[in-house]
Amino acid sequence: MTYLRPKFAHPNLPKNKLGFTRKEYEGSLSTLCAGCGHDSISAAIVEACWEMNIEPHKVAKMSGIGCSSKTPAYFLSNSHGFNSVHGRMPSVATGANMANRELVYLGVSGDGDSASIGMGQFVHVIRRNLNMVYIVMNNGCYGLTKGQDSATADVGSKSKSGSINQFEGIDLCGLAIELGATFVAQSFSGDKSQLIPIIQAAISHPGFALINVLSPCVTFNNNVGSTKSYDYVRQHIEATSTVDFVPFMNEIKTDYQNDEVKMVEMHDGSWLRLHKLSQSWNPDDKLSAINALQNSHLNQEILTGILYIDNKSLETHALLGTTEIPLNKLDESTLCPKDGFLEELNSSFR
Amino acid sequence: MEPTNVKDPEYYHKVVDCQYACPAHTPVPEYIRLIAAGKYTEAYMVNWESNVFPGILGRTCDRPCEPACRRGRLEEEPVAICRLKRVAADNKGDISAFIPGPSSISNGKKIALIGAGPSALTVARDLAPLGYEIHLFDDQDKGGGMMRSQIPSFRLPAEVLDGEVSQILNMGIHTHFKTYVSSLKELLNKKYDAVFIGTGAPKGRDLPDLEGRKIGDKNIHIGIEWLASVAFEHTDSIGEKVIVLGGGNTAMDCCRTSRRLGGKSVKVVVRSPFAEMKASPWEKEDAVHEDIPIIDNHVPLSFVTENGKLVGMNFDKVHPVYDSEGKRKLVSTGESPVFIEADDVLIAIGQENSFPWIERDLGIEFDKWEMPVVDKDTFVSQLPNVFFGGDSALGPKNVITAVAQGHQAAISIDLFCNGKALTERPAPFTNLFSTKMGIHEWSYNNDISNDLRFIVPQASKEETLKDRKKEVELGFNLPTGFKEAQRCLNCDVQTVFTESKCIECDACMDICPTNCITFTANGEEQDLRSRLMVPALNTTQDLLVSSKLATGRVMVKDEDVCLHCGLCAERCPTSAWDMQQFLYKVTKAGNSCH
Ligand SMILES: Cc1cc2nc3c(=O)[nH]c(=O)nc-3n(C[C@H](O)[C@H](O)[C@H](O)COP(=O)(O)OP(=O)(O)OC[C@H]3O[C@@H](n4cnc5c(N)ncnc54)[C@H](O)[C@@H]3O)c2cc1C
Ligand SMILES: Cc1ncc(C[n+]2csc(CCOP(=O)(O)OP(=O)(O)O)c2C)c(N)n1
Ligand code: SF4
Ligand code: SF4
Ligand code: SF4
Ligand SMILES: [Mg+2]
């Protein structure tokens, strides 16, 4: 068993604009089961951050409990991280974000962590539109505690031991749209060509960005009859669009905009190019997104891509009117203004 | 691309870079693992089987394996393959039980070997155990050829040479030493079933027309003749000021030997630029370490004599000019000639073949360079019962090439004596087996050592310059040898892929530390090479391409910088990757004939 990553890298490994190779974005060697979908998502995060030239020390990885929540150890080892309590990642992330708004907040959670014990927290962080990426590594089970059905397991899905799930599964994407989420995407751990640009778009999005990633649990939920296995997901996947993330494209040619191609400008000047595969759906139209999702349930399809995006959203800091400066950079004179200031303030209330 | 045919043993053989580059295809990682396990005797025997002279080669081999070593593509220095061989040789136990003695069977065939250099000794070793009666002729009084007459004792101690030569001679070889074969015709008349010629390239080049050559003759020596006369103790001193002409390994041996025989100011003067000299980098280093300046870009103009005695040489200073094809020309700088003082000059500017003793009417054809026409796979001459090998076959090379050619000639002789076509060569011996011991456990050590190459310690210069027989290199001690052995990446443990098991989870692609693995749409080789995780620019290394997978993609693995760490196989949930140890042994005489 190998515990240490060999130090050697490919001698021709490309470097990004910061002069870093992908190696500088990797973490320690994963201890998850071989073939776990979560590891592929970690690799997609590495690739996305490397390509976007994000400085690793400007990222905070937040997680709860579960195999999924362990993954921050396996990517971005040069970033900050907080492995919190089961289901409580959103409140810790909120606190951190309030204190230092200059970091990229990358929340990683599981379907158990988010849809069961953490459901309350999940709901409220969406309501507040906290500026963070929230990735659910969704395997339909509690992987870490040996594969019990989770709240996202579909009705009728068969577990490894043969029992059939009787309860309705929670659709995290539908719920998020309902709650007013401003960026909602769904993807599959086994499709990096889609997942990587979605992660990049989510990082660019100013506000709460949910990515529900189907991520097969090879050990407890990859059996025949499971609706979260590699085979089932591959057979039932239906993409809304292909996604290209175009960083900081200054000039957008209008002829890109047509029935098939939708260009969405992101807050930071980058663009999303969505090649739509379905005519009846529009990523900035909430109703069409909800319709598309409901239809997919009826057709037993798994809809992937960026389902809904509101690129003009206001995130928590903007809503609360907090200071632009991270708390750790506020100096004494700003925090304790002179006597006159208090008088001025008081008089403004008179 | 078509799926790779891994059933062709040459595919996996090529992945073992060192073994593939070794002329005798020694299974290098196999013996390095044995050294790491402290099994020096076994490591020695793996070597002995394929290269015959592990102790000699562990000190003197030209080591074509090292520039080929994969490790050199990942960090500065390759594994010290050659010096690890010496660790095995120096620390082996009693091997007498494993070395064949005189054969108890006889097949009634008589073979004459002319020359007792490494090529002929290899033929003897391969054929004697099969029951051949071997007659070995050499003009020296002991076996070894140039390994005895040329390679100085400070690089190759006599005990090591004697030991490995006598291992062969003790197999019941009929030796005819101090016997110069002056006529091949006479020998052929003696009714041998086959004759092998391994007489080397015994003639050193001279500069006969250079001004002053004749007058200064007493103090002008041909390098290889002079080295031989030192080895045979006819010469034990040289002047204080010595010029050695030439930039090859012979020049390096000449200058270093001069330092030991009284040369105080010894200079090597070479026509070409330093970087382009023929000598191996380590030989140049050793010469410089012994205070021998190497003066490059100087072309000899004349020997300067005073009162009939050599006093030095004049040189023309040149600089290299390269044409558009990269061909070099040395152009004079136009400066006045450079005079360098010398009591003695050693000319070490190359060797030539010479066959005054082979009559030209026997049916053996010679080309315009007076070289015998020899088939370079079977080593047979135009006469079906006369074979060549070593420096006499295709020109001067080195010991390991002589050994490799000896093996091939032995196979040919065996086929010939059994009435078989020389082209019906037996196939190599190969074996491929899984190293899997448990879920994440392998029977080889798949941890990757981060150590840099260890330096072989040397005896002090004060000591070695006093005594020409004192070996300079001390060899690795066992702890260092172990650590150096751990640097080997086990390139023979192959990454074997089974399409039908792959569920395309990408885990192997994600984990591979050197980004060897890509799942992508198929394409032509050039296109595919450009679309990998890291483009595969080193076209000397193959791509392992799978057949079509369930999603329509193919798995492509660039063999170039695979660490053989097995992480892909550790991360694979279905064992679609397996780490399988591949053994490739070059075929030997006797393997399929009888
Ligand atoms: C100075 C020097 C240093 C070298 N150092 C190295 C080194 O470090 N490593 C390395 O790998 N290689 C080295 N080489 C090259 C290496 O020695 C040769 O390539 C190798 O020995 C060739 O082997 P061979 O079997 O062709 O025969 P040789 O070793 O050349 O032996 C031929 C033998 O045949 C005998 N012979 C010739 N004609 C007749 C005849 N008519 N009758 C009877 N006997 C005859 C010769 O006396 C000789 O003993 C060196 C060569 C030189 C000159
Ligand atoms: C407060 C608390 N309750 C219960 C647990 C036990 N527990 C650990 S992980 C886990 C479920 C994790 O499931 P999920 O978030 O889907 O992660 P996965 O392992 O499937 O990736 C549970 C219930 C716990 N650690 N803490
Ligand atoms: S690393 Fe070891 S097996 Fe690989 S080429 Fe070098 S010596 Fe040979
Ligand atoms: S053994 Fe596998 S993981 Fe290791 S370098 Fe080779 S291909 Fe990559
Ligand atoms: S880890 Fe195994 S199953 Fe997964 S993609 Fe690689 S070879 Fe296929
Ligand atoms: Mg889960």
pLDDT band with cut points at 50, 70 and 90 for residue A275: low
CB contact under 8 A, B505 and A218: yes
pLDDT (tens digit per residue) in B79-135: 999 999 999 999 999 999 999 999 999 999 999 999 999 999 999 999 999 999 999
Cβ contacts of B75 on chain A, cutoff 8 Å = 8
Domain with A168 in it = 22-241+274-329
CA distance B439 to B252: 53
Find out whether B146 and B232 touch, Cβ atoms under 8 Å. no
Report pLDDT for A252: 44
Cβ contacts of B489 on chain A, cutoff 8 Å = none
CA distance A80 to A103: 9
Q: What are phi and psi of B569, to 5 degrees?
A: -70, -30
CA distance A315 to A132: 9
CA distance B172 to B195: 18
Considering B486, B510, B540, which residue would you say is the last residue of a domain? B486
Cβ contacts of B450 on chain A, cutoff 8 Å = 6-7
Size of interface A-B (CB pairs under 8 A): 94
Same domain for B454 and B567, yes or no, is no
Report pLDDT for A248: 58
Report pLDDT for B456: 96
Looking at the CA of B78, which ligand is closest? 3
Domain with B561 in it = 493-584
In a domain, A187, yes or no: yes
- What is the length of chain A? 350
Report pLDDT for A296: 87
Report pLDDT for A341: 87
Is the pLDDT at A4 greater than 90, yes or no?
Answer: no
Instruction: Give residue A142's identity as a one-letter amino acid code.
Output: Y
Same domain for B18 and B45, yes or no, is yes
CA distance B157 to B166: 14
CA distance A202 to A191: 17
Distance A156 CA to ligand 6 centre (A): 17
Cβ contacts of A14 on chain B, cutoff 8 Å = 534
pLDDT band with cut points at 50, 70 and 90 for residue A279: low
Per the structure, the count of domains in chain A is: 1
pLDDT (tens digit per residue) in B157-179: 999 999 999 999 999 999 999 99
Contacts with A, B 441-470, CB within 8 Å: 441, 446-448, 450
B49's CB contacts (< 8 A; 6+ apart) are: B585
Distance B138 CA to ligand 4 centre (A): 51
- Least CB–CB distance from B515: residue in A10, A42, A216: A10
CB contact under 8 A, B504 and A2: no
Average pLDDT, stretch B36-58?
Answer: 98
Q: How far is CA B98 from the centre of its chain?
A: 24
In a domain, A9, yes or no: no
Instruction: Name the DSSP letter for residue A255.
Output: G
Q: How far is CA B509 from the centre of its chain?
A: 37
Same domain for B197 and B226, yes or no, is no
Distance A253 CA to ligand 5 centre (A): 41
Average pLDDT, stretch A256-278?
Answer: 69
pLDDT (tens digit per residue) in B19-29: 999 999 999 99
Average pLDDT, stretch A133-150?
Answer: 97
Cβ contacts of A1 on chain B, cutoff 8 Å = 439-441, 570
What does the DSSP assignment read for B258-277?
HHHTT-SEEEEE-SS-GGG-
| Two structure tokens written together for A204 | 């660019």
CA angle A206, A211, A216 (to 5 degrees): 160
Burial of B206 (0-12, 13-18, 19+ CB in 10 A): middle
Buried b (16+ CB within 10 A) or exposed e, A280-292: ebbbeebebbbeb
Which residue of B450, B490, B534, B574 is the best one to mutate when testing the A interface, meaning the one whose CB has the most A CBs within 10 A? Answer: B534
Report pLDDT for A258: 53
Q: A103: distance to nearest CA of chain B, Å?
A: 26
Q: B499: distance to nearest CA of chain A, Å?
A: 15
Same domain for B218 and B268, yes or no, is yes
The ipTM, to two decimals, is 0.86
Pocket around ligand 5: residues whose beta carbon is below 6 Å from it?
Answer: A 35; B 502-508, 571-574, 576-577
Same domain for B335 and B234, yes or no, is yes
**CATH at residue B182:** 3.50.50.60
pLDDT (tens digit per residue) in B472-505: 999 999 999 999 999 999 999 999 999 999 999 9
Q: Which helix (H) or strand (E) holds B175?
A: strand B174-176
Q: What's the longest Cα–Cα distance across chain A?
A: 73
Q: Is the CB of B224 under 6 A from ligand 4?
A: no
Q: Which residue of A has its CA nearest to B439?
A: A1
Same domain for B198 and B209, yes or no, is no
In a domain, B219, yes or no: yes
Cα end-to-end span (Å), chain A: 72
Same domain for B212 and B232, yes or no, is yes
Pocket around ligand 1: residues whose beta carbon is below 6 Å from it?
Answer: B 60-62, 114-120, 137-140, 145-147, 150-151, 180-181, 198-200, 202, 224, 227, 249-250, 253, 357, 390-392, 396-400, 402
In a domain, A14, yes or no: no
Find out whether B470 and B154 touch, Cβ atoms under 8 Å. yes
CB contact under 8 A, A35 and B513: no
Helices and strands of chain B, counted as H and E runs: 22, 24
Residue recorded with tokens 């060899």: B475
**CATH at residue A70:** 3.40.50.970
- Least CB–CB distance from A2: residue in B447, B507, B514: B447
Q: Which residue of B has its CA nearest to A38?
A: B507
Cβ contacts of A39 on chain B, cutoff 8 Å = 507, 510-511, 571
B475: left (phi over 0), alpha (psi -120 to 50) or beta: left
Is the pLDDT at B414 greater than 50, yes or no?
Answer: yes
Residue B233: how many CA atoms within 13 Å on its side-chain side? 1
Distance B417 CA to ligand 3 centre (A): 38
Is the pLDDT at B442 greater than 50, yes or no?
Answer: yes
Is the pLDDT at B440 greater than 90, yes or no?
Answer: no
Instruction: Give residue B363's identity as a one-letter amino acid code.
Output: G
In a domain, B429, yes or no: no
Q: What CA–CA distances, in Å, run from B502 to B546, B554, B555?
A: 11, 11, 10
Of A109-118, A179-188, A265-274, B500-509, minimum mean pLDDT range: A265-274
Which residue of B439, B512, B515, B568 is the best one to mutate when testing the A interface, meaning the one whose CB has the most A CBs within 10 A? Answer: B515
CA angle B393, B396, B402 (to 5 degrees): 60
Task: State the closest ligand 3 atom to the C-alpha of B81, by its place in the atom list counted from 1.
Answer: 7
Is the pLDDT at B306 greater than 50, yes or no?
Answer: yes
Average pLDDT, stretch B249-254?
Answer: 96
Q: What are phi and psi of A38, to 5 degrees?
A: -55, -35
In a domain, B432, yes or no: no
Kindly state whether B567 is in contact with chain A, defined as any CB-CB distance less than 8 angstroms: yes
**The pairing of beta strand B309-322 with beta strand B328-332:** antiparallel
Average pLDDT, stretch A303-326?
Answer: 93
- Least CB–CB distance from B567: residue in A2, A22, A40: A2
In a domain, B112, yes or no: yes
Distance A23 CA to ligand 3 centre (A): 24
Is the pLDDT at A253 greater than 60, yes or no?
Answer: no
CA distance B85 to B34: 11
Q: A25: distance to nearest CA of chain B, Å?
A: 13
Q: Which residue of B has its CA nearest to A10?
A: B514
Name the percent of chain B lying above pLDDT 90.
95
Is the pLDDT at A16 greater than 50, yes or no?
Answer: yes
Report pLDDT for A250: 47
Q: A75: distance to nearest CA of chain B, Å?
A: 11
CA distance B447 to A80: 29
- Reported for B136-140, long-range contacts at CB under 8 A and 24+ positions apart, including other chains, are B136/B169, B136/B173, B136/B174, B136/B175, B136/B176, B137/B112, B137/B113, B137/B176, B137/B179, B137/B181, B137/B187, B138/B114, B138/B175, B138/B176, B138/B177, B138/B179, B139/B177, B139/B178, B139/B179, B139/B180, B140/B116, B140/B177, B140/B178
In a domain, B281, yes or no: yes
CA proximity to A307, closest of A159, A186, A194: A186
In a domain, B224, yes or no: yes
Is the pLDDT at A267 greater than 90, yes or no?
Answer: no
In a domain, B139, yes or no: yes
C-alpha dihedral over A57, A59, A65, A71, to 10 degrees?
-70
CB contact under 8 A, B551 and A234: yes
Average pLDDT, stretch B448-470?
Answer: 95
A interface toward B at CB cutoff 8 Å? 1-2, 4-14, 22, 29-30, 33-37, 39-40, 42-43, 189-190, 192, 216, 218, 230-231, 234
CA distance B519 to B546: 10
Is the pLDDT at A55 greater than 50, yes or no?
Answer: yes
In a domain, A6, yes or no: no
Distance B391 CA to ligand 1 centre (A): 7
Instruction: Name the DSSP letter for residue B309.
Output: E
Report pLDDT for A254: 41
CA distance B473 to B87: 12
In a domain, A280, yes or no: yes
CA distance A289 to A294: 9
pLDDT band with cut points at 50, 70 and 90 for residue B308: very high
Q: Which residue, by CA, sits nearest to atom 3 of ligand 5? A: B502
Same domain for B562 and B500, yes or no, is yes
Break chain B down into helix, strand, coil percent, rounded to 5. 30, 20, 50
Q: Which residues surround ligand 6, an ion (CB under 5 A)?
A: A 110-112, 139, 143
What does the DSSP assignment read for B105-132?
---S-EEEEE--SHHHHHHHHHHGGGT-
pLDDT band with cut points at 50, 70 and 90 for residue A255: very low
**CATH at residue B48:** 1.10.1060.10
Same domain for B347 and B254, yes or no, is yes
Per the structure, the count of domains in chain B is: 4
In a domain, A295, yes or no: yes
Distance A139 CA to ligand 6 centre (A): 5
- Least CB–CB distance from B534: residue in A12, A218, A234: A12
Same domain for B320 and B215, yes or no, is yes
Same domain for B261 and B208, yes or no, is yes
Residue recorded with tokens 């000190």: B59
For the whole model, what pTM was predicted?
A: 0.90
Distance B276 CA to ligand 3 centre (A): 26
Which residue of A1, A8, A232 is the best one to mutate when testing the B interface, meaning the one whose CB has the most B CBs within 10 A? Answer: A8
Helix axes A89-99, A119-127, angle to 10 degrees: 30
Find out whether B276 and B266 touch, Cβ atoms under 8 Å. no
- SS3 of B458, please? strand
Q: In what order do the strands lie in the sheet with B344-347?
A: B220-222, B344-347, B241-245, B265-269, B294-295
Is the pLDDT at B309 greater than 50, yes or no?
Answer: yes
Average pLDDT, stretch B286-297?
Answer: 96
**The pairing of beta strand B429-434 with beta strand B577-585:** antiparallel
| Alpha-carbon torsion (A304, A310, A315, A320), positive or negative | negative
CB contact under 8 A, A5 and B513: yes
Task: State the closest ligand 3 atom to the C-alpha of B487, by its place in the atom list counted from 1.
Answer: 1
Is the pLDDT at A301 greater than 90, yes or no?
Answer: no
CB contact under 8 A, A2 and B535: no
Looking at the CA of B508, which ligand is closest? 5
CA distance A83 to A101: 19
Same domain for B23 and B145, yes or no, is no
